[in-house]
A and B are shown apart, each in its own frame.
Chain A
Amino acid sequence: MGMLHTVNKSPYQCNTLESCLNHVGEGDVVLLIEDGVYAAMKGGRAADVLSAVQGVKVCVLSADVKARGLEGKLIDGVEVVDYAGFVDLVTETDKTQAWL
């Protein structure tokens, strides 16, 4: 079932999220980790791009959201997962691609 894509850079620093979103397929999951979680911040340009993506589940890693003080500041439609959830995403999808 689909592929997991991890993005660990802020979209305001680097274009890995953009590259990733250009390659995702239906049923894939994008997991934002480390500075990647900034993409899901409400009011940002990247958030508009992210919420426009169809057929792809977008998740953020809770520890990294918390570390950056972004709790309650995320757009709707992204799923917050912890490390156990990260592991589940890896095992539930066919393969994992890290967009470094």
Chain B
Amino acid sequence: MCKNKNKDLRSTWIWQGIKPVKLGICVLEGPYQHEASDTAYNFAVAALEKGHEIFRVFFYHDGVNNATRLMVPPQDDRHIQKRWSELAEQHNLDLVVCVAAAQRRGILDEEEMKRHGKDANNIAPGFRISGLGQLIEAEIQCDRVVFFGD
């Protein structure tokens, strides 16, 4: 529904002569450590509200820690993973976690769990594990790519 809303907004923009832009976002830091993930999230929300397209959010280095569904922050604190997952669901975002960075930090999906003979996986809804090529593709496909890190 929201995706259609954005589409409508985009056509209004084109009609007004304002060009919607295809954006990529790269998050290099984990949650609750520095502000990178918070700033990236707020930026993403503002961009979507303006009718821009977010082609992909790529989580790299410690940024992959945003993708664990096992985080349990205090109830009065923001839930960084849930916030990303919900935004992805609402706007059909592509949240990609770097596979090599994820393996080092114990972020696994079902396939990776089986492949490495582990007894659990922890990838959060809306995230998928893939390679660094996905970041390169975003750099090629997007009008702008914005990096958030420490």
Q: Which residues of A contact B (CB under 8 A)?
A: 6, 8, 33-34, 63-64, 82-84, 86-88, 90-91, 95-96, 98, 100
Asked if residues B149 and A87 are in contact (CB atoms below 8 Å), the reply is no
| Cross-chain contact of B147 among A34, A63, A82, A98 (Cβ < 8 A) | A98
**Minimal Cβ-Cβ distance residue in B for A93:** B144
> How near does chain A come to B138, taking the closest CB pair, in angstroms?
13
Chain B: residues with Cβ within 8 Å of the partner, total of 24
Dominant secondary structure of chain B at its interface with chain A: mixed
- Say yes or no for B32: interface residue by CB 8 A criterion: no
**Minimal Cβ-Cβ distance residue in B for A95:** B144
Dominant secondary structure of chain A at its interface with chain B: helix
Asked if residues B46 and A86 are in contact (CB atoms below 8 Å), the reply is yes
Q: Which residues of chain A are near B42, meaning CB under 8 Å?
A: 63, 83
Query: Knowing A96-B146, A100-B28, A100-B147 touch, does A87 contact B47 (C-beta < 8 A)?
Result: yes
Asked if residues B46 and A33 are in contact (CB atoms below 8 Å), the reply is no
Question: Which among B39, B42, B143 has the greatest number of chain A C-beta atoms within 10 A?
Answer: B39
- Say yes or no for B21: interface residue by CB 8 A criterion: yes
Asked if residues B145 and A87 are in contact (CB atoms below 8 Å), the reply is no
- Say yes or no for B52: interface residue by CB 8 A criterion: yes
Distance of A96 Cα from B47 Cα, bound (Å): 15
Asked if residues B23 and A90 are in contact (CB atoms below 8 Å), the reply is yes
Distance of A24 Cα from B143 Cα, bound (Å): 21
| Cross-chain contact of A83 among B28, B45, B143, B150 (Cβ < 8 A) | B45
**Minimal Cβ-Cβ distance residue in A for B50:** A87
Q: Which residues of chain B are near A34, meaning CB under 8 Å?
A: 34-35, 39
Can you identify 13 A-B contacts, CB atoms within 8 angstroms?
A8-B39, A8-B150, A34-B35, A86-B43, A87-B47, A87-B52, A88-B50, A90-B21, A91-B144, A96-B146, A98-B146, A98-B148, A100-B150
